[in-house]
Chains A and B, each alone.
Chain A
């Protein structure tokens, strides 16, 4: 009795799932699912076209790059139209928006300028980020060729490729950024080993202590006499 009741229930569920409850995508995907011998109890197989729609990441070795190419000259035009308002015509940055070019030789200074040319380890990061998140507020609106062109222009602004350079899927992995060798893995557990102390000092740990810096001198803290509450 139990067995048949279970079978009945299972049949009922199958009907419910197959006909009534499934949204459109699942019904159209039903033959596909049927083909899979091990359909998961939760979730469903991802369709190739679904993966393609979201699979936009690009790695330094070029994995993930779309077909396409773009020149420095084309990139200049696309950049001026889509990017220069925030990043400046030459990647110098407007206001507090990120500076993208220049800054070489500043990383040890008091005011390091961390640009694609001076700091970023991989050109693929620029392609990936422009592709996924730029232009700010209108992201994923550029074509693959336009993205190649923008990256080519950015590389040229950083004196890394000549003016007649054309960036493509094929030559992309050959592009090396100068600061790449200067990144290394987290080493805090060795270089900061001194911070693991069993018995920190409790009494008379130093001589007289004096104030050496004060936040009020800078006076950059927001002063909100009438802060905007969220309870109005």
Chain B
């Protein structure tokens, strides 16, 4: 690294931004921590704050950015993250799926804080690629067991009375699905990154269904997307009338194309696959349609060979996002354990954190809003002496549900169910700060 001050220069105690958390190999990890061969002479970052041998080159001389004019106000008409955050991106695990169009790209949870997921980092799951729909050509049809089959334009939806703003998590039912047989993927981006938490703007689905007039026989609603998978799910009418939304904005702006622009369904607390993107059709019927995504997929195969279906609700779950394999501990002394918790059944009431693999627990601090069926942030401030830790978190919701251990889940379900793995995650923090996805017993 150059000794010149400049936009790319980092302080001696910081990791080079280019390798921050992105390199997951041991070699990459060591160099990220400044613990590779080149760092031996200087001592590790874990040694604590050394007395400065001389003035910090980031202070003396005065940095260039303090002396020269920066970029103008509209260099980026649509703003972007700092160039030093370029590694905070969605990532995919290519071996998971056969094609890029029917695949998943994961939210970089390890690098995020607060409760709202930035739009560009919300995980993406497509089954037939990303549909690009001209909003002027967008149509939403309601038909089936209704008095008046209707067609709406996007303008119609935006003119409807009763617009609401609601924050909800969306978790794919297969989140953590690769972990049923044991610790597999090394990073919360990959083990837990099929979740995001967004403020939606839209119209209650009930408003649209009432306009069409649902007939007495109507018990289910088929939601269908306009993408090349023409994605469909059957939703009980009771849920549709209770709290589902037809949303056209996320976090204050139009839906992103990969999140269903211009209109998606919001199904609070229920598995992400039901939140049909590019929503084109709502059909009311008297029984479920038994579509591919509710029969051959998104059903839970248990150890006895039988399968649960219509397991819509996402159970309470949590994960420590830092430290985690992509966000190792870098300093002894004061540190902040940060994580997220959520429940499809209600509001997160409490999160406990264990540093010894679940033997002893400390209640963490919930910070920021704790809203029903929304992501909740928790922190535990602690001093690290450099000893090995087995970090866990355990979420509880207002129904009294307590997040189970993975082994408690396996005792009921076996290891073949793919979906709904909400077991307690363990991160092993080694004495050098390196953190690994492990299981304990």
Are the C-beta atoms of A196 and B399 separated by less than 8 Å? yes
Are the C-beta atoms of B283 and A222 separated by less than 8 Å? no
Show 18 residue pairs from A and B whose CB-CB distance is below 8 angstroms, ordered by the A residue.
Answer: A43-B152, A45-B148, A57-B291, A96-B95, A96-B97, A122-B290, A139-B229, A182-B307, A183-B307, A183-B308, A185-B310, A206-B358, A210-B441, A216-B26, A224-B23, A224-B24, A225-B25, A231-B80
Interfacial residues of chain A within 56-110, with CB under 8 A of chain B in the complex:
56-61, 86, 95-97, 107-108, 110
- Does residue B22 face the partner (Cβ distance < 8 Å to A)? yes
Are the C-beta atoms of A210 and B183 separated by less than 8 Å? no
Residue tally, chain B, CB below 8 Å to A: 106
- Does residue B164 face the partner (Cβ distance < 8 Å to A)? no
- Does residue B47 face the partner (Cβ distance < 8 Å to A)? no
Are the C-beta atoms of B89 and A227 separated by less than 8 Å? yes
- Does residue A2 face the partner (Cβ distance < 8 Å to B)? no
Q: Which of B63-71, B247-255, B298-306, B365-373 contacts A (4 or more CB under 8 A)?
A: B298-306
Q: Shortest Cβ distance from A32 into chain B, in angstroms?
A: 12
Interfacial residues of chain A within 15-45, with CB under 8 A of chain B in the complex:
38, 40, 42-45
- Does residue A8 face the partner (Cβ distance < 8 Å to B)? no
Are the C-beta atoms of B309 and A183 separated by less than 8 Å? yes
Are the C-beta atoms of B149 and A209 separated by less than 8 Å? no
Given known A-B contacts A42-B211, A112-B416, A124 and B290 have beta carbons under 8 A apart: yes
Q: In the complex, A46→B284 CA distance in Å? A: 14
Are the C-beta atoms of A206 and B359 separated by less than 8 Å? yes
Which residue of the partner chain, among B91, B94, B143, B436, contacts A215 with CB atoms under 8 Å? B436
Are the C-beta atoms of B440 and A45 separated by less than 8 Å? no
Task: Identify the closest chain B residue to A42 (Cβ).
Answer: B156
Give chain A's interface secondary structure class. Answer: loop
- Does residue B55 face the partner (Cβ distance < 8 Å to A)? no
Are the C-beta atoms of A45 and B151 separated by less than 8 Å? yes
Interfacial residues of chain B within 383-441, with CB under 8 A of chain A in the complex:
390, 394, 396, 399-404, 408, 412, 415-416, 428, 436-441
Task: Identify the closest chain B residue to A231 (Cβ).
Answer: B86
- Does residue B98 face the partner (Cβ distance < 8 Å to A)? yes
- Does residue B112 face the partner (Cβ distance < 8 Å to A)? no
Instruction: Across the A-B interface, give the 10 residue pairs with the lowest CB-CB distance, nearest first.
Output: A209-B357, A215-B437, A96-B98, A229-B86, A46-B149, A213-B439, A213-B182, A107-B305, A221-B186, A132-B230
Chain A residues, Cβ within 8 Å of B24: 221-224
Task: Identify the closest chain B residue to A222 (Cβ).
Answer: B93
| Residue from B99, B152, B186 with most neighbouring chain A CB atoms (10 Å) | B186
Are the C-beta atoms of B91 and A195 separated by less than 8 Å? no
Q: In the complex, A213→B292 CA distance in Å? A: 34
Chain A residues, Cβ within 8 Å of B184: 215, 218, 220
Are the C-beta atoms of B304 and A108 separated by less than 8 Å? yes
Are the C-beta atoms of B309 and A133 separated by less than 8 Å? no
Are the C-beta atoms of A108 and B440 separated by less than 8 Å? no
Chain A residues, Cβ within 8 Å of B273: none
Are the C-beta atoms of A200 and B352 separated by less than 8 Å? yes
Q: In the complex, A28→B186 CA distance in Å? A: 59
- Does residue B169 face the partner (Cβ distance < 8 Å to A)? no
Q: Shortest Cβ distance from A66 into chain B, in angstroms?
A: 16
- Does residue A5 face the partner (Cβ distance < 8 Å to B)? no
Interfacial residues of chain B within 343-360, with CB under 8 A of chain A in the complex:
352, 356-360
Are the C-beta atoms of B301 and A210 separated by less than 8 Å? no
Chain A residues, Cβ within 8 Å of B87: 227, 229
Are the C-beta atoms of A211 and B438 separated by less than 8 Å? yes
Give chain B's interface secondary structure class. Answer: loop
Are the C-beta atoms of A59 and B287 separated by less than 8 Å? yes
Chain B residues, Cβ within 8 Å of A122: 290, 295
Q: In the complex, A56→B152 CA distance in Å? A: 19
Are the C-beta atoms of A46 and B360 separated by less than 8 Å? no
Given known A-B contacts A121-B295, A200-B394, A182 and B306 have beta carbons under 8 A apart: yes
Are the C-beta atoms of A223 and B25 separated by less than 8 Å? yes
- Does residue B81 face the partner (Cβ distance < 8 Å to A)? yes
Which residue of the partner chain, among A119, A191, A225, contacts B412 with CB atoms under 8 Å? A191
- Does residue B176 face the partner (Cβ distance < 8 Å to A)? no
A184-211 interface bits toward B, Cβ cutoff 8 Å, 1 = contact, 0 = none:
1111100110111110111111100111
Are the C-beta atoms of B229 and A220 separated by less than 8 Å? no
Given known A-B contacts A132-B232, A185-B308, A220 and B95 have beta carbons under 8 A apart: yes
B277-321 interface bits toward A, Cβ cutoff 8 Å, 1 = contact, 0 = none:
000110101010111100110010101111111111101000000
Q: Shortest Cβ distance from B306 into chain A, in angstroms?
A: 4
- Does residue B160 face the partner (Cβ distance < 8 Å to A)? yes
Q: In the complex, A59→B288 CA distance in Å? A: 8
- Does residue B224 face the partner (Cβ distance < 8 Å to A)? yes
Given known A-B contacts A108-B303, A197-B400, A202-B360, A188 and B230 have beta carbons under 8 A apart: no
Task: Identify the closest chain A residue to B420 (Cβ).
Answer: A188
Given known A-B contacts A46-B143, A195-B402, A209 and B358 have beta carbons under 8 A apart: yes
Are the C-beta atoms of A128 and B352 separated by less than 8 Å? no
Q: Which of A47-55, A151-159, A161-169 contacts B (4 or more CB under 8 A)?
A: A47-55
- Does residue A212 face the partner (Cβ distance < 8 Å to B)? yes
- Does residue B51 face the partner (Cβ distance < 8 Å to A)? no
- Does residue B185 face the partner (Cβ distance < 8 Å to A)? yes
Are the C-beta atoms of A204 and B86 separated by less than 8 Å? no
Are the C-beta atoms of A57 and B183 separated by less than 8 Å? no
- Does residue A228 face the partner (Cβ distance < 8 Å to B)? yes
